[in-house]
Structure 1
C-alpha cells in the first residue's frame, strides 16, 4: 500500500486535474512531490475530515487555523504555487463538483474518506465568527460585532505587528528601503495635504483606529478632530495617545457609528481603510451620510481596497477565509463602482490615486514584524489567531502584487452650486 503522502498527492491531483506544485509531508512522516519545493505539512488526518466536511477554502482555513495544516519553507512561495487552485480558478478551471462526476476521482475521494477515519465532523475553531443571516448584515449591531471580532484582539498584539506608527492601512513608500514608520507618516501627511488641512478646520476621521490620523492632523496641521470607531479597545488606546501628546483640547475620540454622527458640518472627512466594512447594500447611504456632514467646498478622502471587476458582478462572493476569520461581512467593490456611488451621493470626484504596490510592501513588513517575535505574538493573542494573521497578511501581499486587488485614494469634493471646488489648478502638488 502507498504511504499517506503519496496517496494524498494522487488524490489531490485527480481532484484538481493538475499536478501538485508543492511537496506533501503526511502525519506518518512520509513525503511526496517535487524535491526542493515548499512543503505542505498535513500534521493530522483530522485535516482531511475538515476538507471532506467543508470542501473548498473554508475547510482549508479551518485546518490551517487549528494547526492541522502548515507550510515549511517560504510561505509566500507556497501560496504563490497554490494560488491557482485556491483563488485563481476561473470559469474554465475544473471545479470540484465537475471532478466528482469522474469515476476515478470518486474512487480517489472514497480512498480519502478511508484515510480520514473516523469520519466525524471536527470541532470548528473558536476563532471562527458565528454570524447572523444575510438579512442582518451591516446593521449597527452586526457591524459592531464584526469590528470587535477583528480589532479587539489585543492592542499589544497590534503594536507588535504594526510597529510604533499603529496605522493599519497601506503605507506610502518613497522606496522599499524606507522604514515602515516613515512610510506611514508620509501616508498620513499625503492625506492631510489632499484634504487641504489648515489651522482652525474641523476634521472627521471615520474609522479612526488607534488615533494616528487624528493625532497627526491636530499636531501637524492645527485642526480640531473628531475620530469615531466601533472598537472599545481602539478608542481606549487612542485616547491615551491623545493625552500623551497633549492634544485633548483638539482631538475627541468616540465609540460611535458613523451613521450616528450629528454634529456637522465638517471642513474635511478622512475615511482610511474603513469603507470595506460598509457593504454594497449600504454604500450609497455611507456616501450620502458623509456628504451631508461636510460644509460646501468640504473634501472627503476615501482610502479603500478595491477588487478587479467581474464580467458578471452577481457572481462576486466574499472570500470564505477572510469572512470567517478576519473581516466578517467585509466586501470589496471595483473602483468604478465606488466612484459611481460617491458621484450619485452628490460628490465631485476630483482625483484617484492607486497605491497597489505600496500595500504589498506594507503587508510584507507587517508579516516580518509578526514572524520576528512569533512566540510573543502567540502569547499576546492565541496561537490560532497569530496563524490567521500570518496567512491573511501574506496572502494579501501576493494579491496586491499580482493585481488581484488594489487600493485607491479617492478625493471627492462637496462642490458648491457656483462650481468653485477650492482645489489648486495643479492638484498633485497638494499645497492648498
Structure 2
C-alpha cells in the first residue's frame, strides 16, 4: 500500500496497526534521509558563494556563506522554516526555490538581495539548475513545449498571465497601467511620471507626426496608444490577445475621447498583414515588451510580419527584455520558474537572436538604448506597491501561495536587472527606403542604481 493511500485513508477510532505504524515510521525516516542529503548538497553549493554574504538560519543554527562586499555591505538573512526547502532547492533548482518560497518554506526580509547574490554568483545558480535540478527539466520542458506559441497557444499563454484580472494589476501599477520599464529622469521621480516619460521618449524616437498611422503590437491597457494619439495626433491601430486588456483598453480609449483615432483589435500579430491589403502599410510601428512572448521559434516570423506592416520609409521601435548571447542557447531549451508559472510559452531573446531574426528582412537597426537600470527601479516601485496593498489583493480572492509567488517574481526580476543578469533595451529600426535622419533623443544622463 502506498504512503499516499495511507495518508488519504479515512480516520478511524481503532488502534493503529503495527504494519501501518511501521510504514509511517519508515516513510518519515526516508523523508528525513532525503532532506538530510539535500541539505548537505545545497550547503556544499552555497559554500562556493564568493561575493555577498548569505546568513542562513534554520531552527537553532546560523550559517554564513560568502563574504560581505562593497556592493553587499551587510549579510542577507535567509530563514529556512522547513527542511523540505532543502529538497525543493536541491532537486528543483530555480523552479524549486520559487515553489518553496511560495509555500512559505523559506523567506527573507530582502528577497531581491537574495536574487542579486545568486545573479552575481551565477555559477552557483547554474550548478543548482544544472546538477540535480536537471531531474525536473524533462517534465518542465515537455510542459513548455506544449505551450508553444501557435495561433491557439499564444492566446492561451497570454490569457494565463494578463487575464489574471485588471483589478489585480491596478493594485501595483501606476494609473497609466504601464506594465513595462519606465524611464526615470532621477531616482526620486514618481513612478507615474517616469512611465509618462518613457511613453514620450518612445513617441519622439519614432518621430510621430499628426495623422500618421501607427501600428502597436501588444496593447497592454492602452497607455501608449492613448499617449500617442492625444499628444501627437496620430492614428493608432493596436492589438492584444488578452480579453481583459482588450475590454479595458477600449473603455480607456473611449473615456479619453479618442474613439476616432485609436482602434483596439483582439488579434494575433500574425493575422495583421491582412490589414495592409485593405488599408495600406503603417508609417510607424511600436512593440513594447511583447517580443518576449513570441517564443524563439517564431522570432523570424515576427520580424517578417513587422516588415510587411511597416512602410518602406517607416520607423519601428521595439522595447525588449534581453539576456546575454552566451546564455541564450541554454535558455531556449531550459525552463525556469518564470516560464513555468508566470509567462508560459515565453522566451527572453538575446540581442544576437533579435539581430539574426531581423537579418532576414530589409529592416535596419539604427539605434539602441539600454534602460536596464531603469527597469530595476521600476520593479522596486511595483514590489513596494504590491506589498503595501497585499491585503487588498488577497481580498480580491488571490491565495497566499499566489501572493508569495508574485512577491518572489518581482524581487527575482529586480535583482536580475540590478545585476544586469537580464537587460532591457529600446531598439529603433528603419525601413529600406527611409532617408530622413533619425530624431535625436539623448540617453538619460543620470546613473541609476544597477546601471553600468
Question: TM-score range with shorter-chain normalisation?
Answer: 0.7 to 0.9
Match of 2:237 in 1: 226
Number of paired residues? 391
Relative distance call for 1:60 and 1:312 in structure 2 (3 A) is: closer
Residues 1:39 and 2:92 aligned together? no
Match of 1:291 in 2: 307
Relative distance call for 1:77 and 1:17 in structure 2 (3 A) is: closer
Matches within 5 A, 1:9-158: 12-14=42-44, 16-18=46-48, 21-26=53-58, 29-34=59-64, 37-48=75-86, 50-51=88-89, 54-71=91-108, 73-83=109-119, 87-89=122-124, 96=131, 132=143, 134=145, 137-158=148-169
SS where residue 161 of structure 1 aligns? coil
User: 1:302-355: per-residue Cα shift (whole Å, max 9, x none)?
Assistant: 111110121783575445111111111211222133133223211021111111
CA RMSD of aligned residues (A): 3.3
Match of 1:323 in 2: 339
In structure 1, which of residues 170, 186, 210 is the aligned counterpart of residue 197 of structure 2?
186
SS where residue 426 of structure 2 aligns? strand
Relative distance call for 1:302 and 1:57 in structure 2 (3 A) is: same
User: What's the CA shift for 1:132?
Assistant: 4.8
User: What's the CA shift for 1:40?
Assistant: 2.5
Gaps of 5+ in 1: 99-120, 122-128
Matches within 5 A, 1:171-182: 171-182=182-193
Moved more, 238-247 or 60-69: 60-69
Relative distance call for 1:399 and 1:188 in structure 2 (3 A) is: same
Residues 1:203 and 2:203 aligned together? no
In structure 1, which of residues 178, 198, 217 is the aligned counterpart of residue 228 of structure 2?
217
Normalising by structure 2, we get a TM-score of 0.78
Q: Distance in 1 between matches of 2:244 and 2:86?
A: 37
User: 1:142-193: per-residue Cα shift (whole Å, max 9, x none)?
Assistant: 1111111111112112111111121011111111111111111111111111
| Alpha carbons 1:363, 1:397 under 8 Å: kept | yes
| Alpha carbons 1:347, 1:414 under 8 Å: kept | yes
Gaps of 5+ in 2: 1-34, 66-73, 444-452
User: 1:2-50: per-residue Cα shift (whole Å, max 9, x none)?
Assistant: xxx9998655323555479433444xx4342249844333334443554
Q: Distance in 2 between matches of 1:12 and 1:136?
A: 31
Matches within 5 A, 1:415-430: 415-416=432-433, 420-424=434-438, 427-428=440-441
| Alpha carbons 1:9, 1:24 under 8 Å: kept | no
Moved more, 169-178 or 31-40: 31-40
In structure 2, which of residues 340, 345, 351 is the aligned counterpart of residue 335 of structure 1?
351
| Alpha carbons 1:288, 1:346 under 8 Å: kept | no
Match of 1:236 in 2: 247
Normalising by structure 1, we get a TM-score of 0.81
Moved more, 398-407 or 43-52: 43-52
